[in-house]
Amino acid sequence: MSRVLVVDDEADIRELIDLTLSRMGLAADCAGSVGEAQALLKDNRYQLCLTDMRLPDGDGLQIVRQLSESGSDTPVAVITAYGSAENAVAALKAGAFDYLAKPVSLEQLRTLVKSALRLPGEAPAEAGPMLMGVSPAMAQVSALIEKLARSQAPIYISGESGSGKELAARQVHERSARAAAPFVPVNCGAIPENLMESEFFGYRKGAFTGADSEREGFFHAAQGGTLFLDEVADLPLPMQVKLLRAIQEKKVRKVGSTVEEPVDVRIICATHKNLRDCVEQGLFRQDLYYRLNVIELRIPPLRERREDIPELVRAMLTRLCGPMVPELTPAARQALEAYPFPGNVRELENILERATALCADTCIDVADLQLGDECAAEARAGRAGETLDDFLNRVERQAIQEALEKTAGNRTAAARVLGISFRSLRYRLDRLGMEV
């Protein structure tokens, strides 16, 4: 029988949670303080921990950190005061699996427990396409995806267009306890502003002209699963306010309705823009940014992982051509490995699809790739299809990376090489999403 540790200084809440868990076939040990919880954790192993944030001798974050630092894989969910968004975000950043707001909803509690423990009947769906690559950069991405899949924290995926952000989001979903539920991708930049609220939250019959029947929104469609908000920076400010409330309260109100309905979705968002710059420019709400950017997953551009190109080429040609896979001449392979790929993996696939249509027999040569004009344009412009911000960030990232390599990862020495202060380097590493 799975055992759950319940930590709360209010006896009635401990009793309520204990009773709910027992009806789900789970055993619970209860503690009223951090000290009692630490004593139980020392002598027992638990499959889940539920802890209040405010405790007589400390707070729930101490328990979260203790389990995280000990290497335990026990998921921890924190119980926060109603409307205390800061506490919820702090807990998720510390490594909490999820959170519940007081007063505790038994429906949300049961959903959280099922998700954390993967109770019978919730087998993961068959895995779809995965990110590929053997480079150190992709190894780091894969390791972080495995870690993020065990959490319920919101994720912000950053990266250039075509680098594989949606694929990364799908991979997190498919490796998580929500794998059997829907993965709903939404391109925020493709929805007309006047339709956004009804598309996200749904609407009741008669809510507006043309609403001939009731309709579910994206949140309802993703119930129990993951809602992926692509190009989230394109959301207008009024919609950002409504989205923030839905994420904080885990409830949505359909257009034309007077009541809110509970929803259980994990939010993953992505954009090719620098979201922090959008906040500074007043284009994106700071409170929504901190709510979405609990954990950042940066997908490196293809030019930063050129050693992955051969594997990607093989996989794409197999998918495009089946058993009759054409060979690349040595010159063609060299040309691909030298090409800057401003469009990243998506551009590589387009290049190969074009080459398979143009090549003679089963051999792809440099001429079939048609890279000459694009390479020349890149050399002249220095950035091809990149925005100015993307270009400057790329150059800055490359300079920092080279300095860190020269100094064997010593940040203080790298700052001296770059001619900037250590504090400035630390800020730039954080802004560019570079982990060392």
Two tokens at 123?
A: 């087998």
- Distance (Å) of CA 363 to CA 9, 57, 99, 323, 351: 71, 71, 56, 14, 15
Two tokens at 297?
A: 């997953």
pLDDT tens-digit profile of 212-233? Answer: 888 899 999 999 999 999 999 9
In this prediction, residue 378 has a pLDDT band, given cuts at 50, 70 and 90, of very low
DSSP codes of every residue in 108-168:
HHHHHHHHHHT-TT-PPPPP-------SHHHHHHHHHHHHHHT----EEEE--TTS-HHHH
Q: Rounded to an integer, what distance in angstroms lies between the CA atom of residue 252 and that of residue 42?
A: 41
Q: Rounded to an integer, what distance in angstroms lies between the CA atom of residue 414 and that of residue 405?
A: 8
Domains of the chain from N-terminus onward = 3-117 (3.40.50.2300), 136-298 (3.40.50.300), 302-381 (1.10.8.60), 388-431 (1.10.10)
Question: Can you state the angle between helices 34-43 and 60-69, rounded to 10 degrees?
Answer: 30
Hey, what long-range contacts does 400-408 have (CB within 8 A, 24 or more apart)? 400/425, 400/428, 400/429, 400/432, 400/434, 401/434, 404/436
Residue 336, C-beta contacts closer than 8 angstroms, at least 6 positions apart: 309, 313, 328, 348, 351, 369, 371
Q: Rounded to an integer, what distance in angstroms lies between the CA atom of residue 211 and that of residue 208?
A: 6
For residue 385, the model assigns a pLDDT of 52
pLDDT tens-digit profile of 84-93? Answer: 667 777 788 7
Q: List, in sequence order, every residue forming a beta bridge with 54; answer none if it has no partner.
A: 59
Q: Which of 299, 284, 291, 64 is nearest to 155 (CA)?
A: 291
pLDDT tens-digit profile of 46-81? Answer: 999 999 988 999 988 899 888 888 877 788 888 887
Q: Is 401 or 57 the better-scoring residue by pLDDT?
A: 57
For residue 93, the model assigns a pLDDT of 78
CA atoms within 13 A on the CB side of 157: 28
Q: Rounded to an integer, what distance in angstroms lies between the CA atom of residue 297 and that of residue 140?
A: 10
pTM greater than 0.85 (yes/no): no
Residue 423, number of CB atoms within 10 A of its CB: 9
Residue with tokens 């007309």: 192
**E strands, 299-417, in order:** 327-328, 363-364
Residue 298, C-beta contacts closer than 8 angstroms, at least 6 positions apart: 141, 157, 158, 159, 433, 434
Question: Can you state the angle between helices 422-431 and 411-418, rounded to 10 degrees?
Answer: 100
- Distance (Å) of CA 184 to CA 157, 166, 291: 16, 11, 20
* Sheet with 98-101, edge to edge strand ranges: 27-31, 3-7, 48-52, 76-80, 98-101
Q: List, in sequence order, every residue forming a beta bridge with 50; answer none if it has no partner.
A: 6, 77
Residue 212, C-beta contacts closer than 8 angstroms, at least 6 positions apart: 205
- DSSP character at residue 215: B
For residue 414, the model assigns a pLDDT of 84
> What average pLDDT does the chain have?
85
b/e per residue, 137-153, with b = 16+ CB within 10 A?
bbeebbebbeebbbbbb
The yes-or-no verdict on residue 180 having pLDDT over 60 is: yes
Q: Residue 376: which H helix or E strand, with range?
A: helix 372-381
